[in-house]
């Protein structure tokens, strides 16, 4: 159920000028409640003009990731899906996993403006400063057979590339298995975590987390040569709420029933986006680091590598680093 603040904001749409009396009548609340809602919106950064006998007019919106900002960009089919917003959270994936265990529905999302303990694959920290990036996790309950699960991360990467291309006008590349690159540097990381039913092996829930660098900020010295942002690559600031909506909608659609022809198409698109095949790589594991040549992405989403000792192996997962050409 929408709050009075959200309902007032909805009435103050593009170009609308509404008197306090008309808003009061439309919403069935007091003039005082309308004034309080306007003041609350102003405190959040909304620029709202008030003119005698003309009323209120929305002049500018802040760059927020609140549910009301994200929902205005979502499709009619997804606009009512729940969104939990945090100005600051340790990890959106952790919050989404807890929500999934408590019964969160398919398509529920956790979005944050800042993460204090954001992490990527293998528990590595993911830099998540306030106001600069997009940090979200989506709860999915895909009705997929077990043999299709290894392709989930592949499909997530394609959906994320689609969303970024639609909003930013440039399509990222993928470093196997799920890092997104622009200009050869890391733009975003994807972390997918599954909860399986013990007896059937089917997915009870999947939490898909994405951390994406949106606005240009100084990176720490150890990341400056490795990381980039959408603003740095495109030369313009992207509306984070619009990007969040595009990501959530495409991931939601991706997790629906996937016919074989859709799977084959998305796998082909992943192979086109993926820059790892054909490159020299190092593969790290608890047993050590091995060097080789990445050859292809298999039909199951594994990476085929011919190692320097002569043997070839299909890696279903792992830590792969690219070397110079």
> Would you state the structure tokens that stand for residue 83, as one six-digit string?
């969104």
- Per-residue pLDDT of 111-150, as tens digits, reads 999 988 766 554 555 666 678 899 999 999 988 877 777 8
The pLDDT score that the predictor gives to residue 56 is: 95
Give the DSSP letter string of 219-242. Answer: PPTTTTTTB--HHHHHSS---HHH
pLDDT tier at 75, thresholds 50, 70, 90: very high
Residue 286 in this model has a pLDDT that exceeds 50? yes
Residue 268 in this model has a pLDDT that exceeds 50? yes
Cis amide leading into 36 (omega within 30):
no
Burial class (CB in 10 A: 0-12, 13-18, 19+), 83: buried
What stretch(es) of the chain map to CATH 3.30.930.10?
67-273
The pLDDT score that the predictor gives to residue 202 is: 72
- The widest CA-to-CA distance across the chain, in whole angstroms, is 81
CATH code of the domain occupying 67-273: 3.30.930.10
Residue 208 in this model has a pLDDT that exceeds 90? yes
Q: Of the candidates 215, 211, 212, which has an alpha carbon nearest to the alpha carbon of residue 234?
A: 215
Residue 264 in this model has a pLDDT that exceeds 70? yes
The pLDDT score that the predictor gives to residue 172 is: 97
Contact indicator for 235, 157 with CB cutoff of 8 Å = no
What stretch(es) of the chain map to CATH 2.30.30.100?
280-322
- Pairing, β 173-175 against β 133-140: unpaired
pLDDT tier at 325, thresholds 50, 70, 90: very low
CATH code of the domain occupying 280-322: 2.30.30.100
- Cα distance between residue 168 and residue 166, in whole Å: 6
| Mean pLDDT (the chain, rounded) | 90
Q: Which fold has domain 4-60?
A: Arc Repressor Mutant, subunit A (1.10.10)
What stretch(es) of the chain map to CATH 1.10.10.10?
4-60
Q: Of the candidates 37, 276, 52, which has an alpha carbon nearest to the alpha carbon of residue 154?
A: 276
Burial class (CB in 10 A: 0-12, 13-18, 19+), 163: buried
Q: Is the dihedral of CA 234, 239, 244, 249 positive or negative?
A: negative
Residue 3 in this model has a pLDDT that exceeds 80? yes
pTM recorded for the entire structure: 0.87
């Amino acid at each position: 159920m929408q709050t009075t603040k959200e309902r007032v904001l909805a009435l103050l749409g593009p170009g609308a000028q509404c008197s306090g009396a008309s808003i009061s009548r439309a919403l069935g609340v007091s003039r005082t409640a309308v004034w309080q809602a306007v003041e609350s919106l102003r405190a959040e950064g909304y620029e709202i003009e008030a003119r005698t006998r003309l009323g209120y007019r929305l002049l500018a919106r802040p760059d927020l990731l609140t549910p009301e900002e994200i929902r205005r960009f979502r499709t009619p089919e997804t606009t009512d899906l729940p969104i939990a917003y945090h100005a600051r959270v340790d990890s959106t994936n952790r919050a989404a996993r807890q929500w999934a265990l408590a019964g969160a529905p398919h398509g529920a999302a956790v979005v944050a403006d800042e993460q204090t303990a954001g992490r990527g694959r293998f528990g590595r920290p993911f830099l998540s400063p306030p106001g600069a990036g997009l940090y979200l996790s989506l709860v999915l309950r895909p009705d997929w057979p077990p043999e299709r699960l290894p392709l989930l991360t592949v499909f997530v990467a394609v959906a994320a590339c689609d969303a970024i291309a639609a909003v930013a006008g440039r399509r990222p590349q993928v470093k196997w298995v799920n890092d997104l690159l622009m200009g050869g540097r890391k733009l975003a990381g994807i972390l997918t975590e599954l909860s399986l039913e013990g007896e059937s092996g089917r997915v009870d829930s999947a939490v898909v987390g994405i951390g994406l660098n949106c606005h240009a900020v100084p990176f720490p010295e150890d990341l400056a040569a490795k990381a980039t942002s959408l603003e740095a690559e495109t030369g313009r600031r992207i509306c984070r709420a619009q990007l969040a909506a595009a990501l959530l909608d495409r991931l939601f659609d991706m997790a629906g029933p996937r016919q074989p022809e859709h799977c084959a198409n998305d796998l082909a698109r992943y192979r086109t986006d993926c820059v790892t095949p054909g490159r020299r790589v190092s593969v790290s594991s608890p047993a050590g680091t091995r060097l080789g040549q990445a050859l292809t992405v298999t039909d199951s989403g594994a990476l085929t590598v011919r190692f320097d000792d002569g043997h070839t192996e299909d890696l279903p997962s792992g830590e792969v680093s690219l070397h110079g050409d």
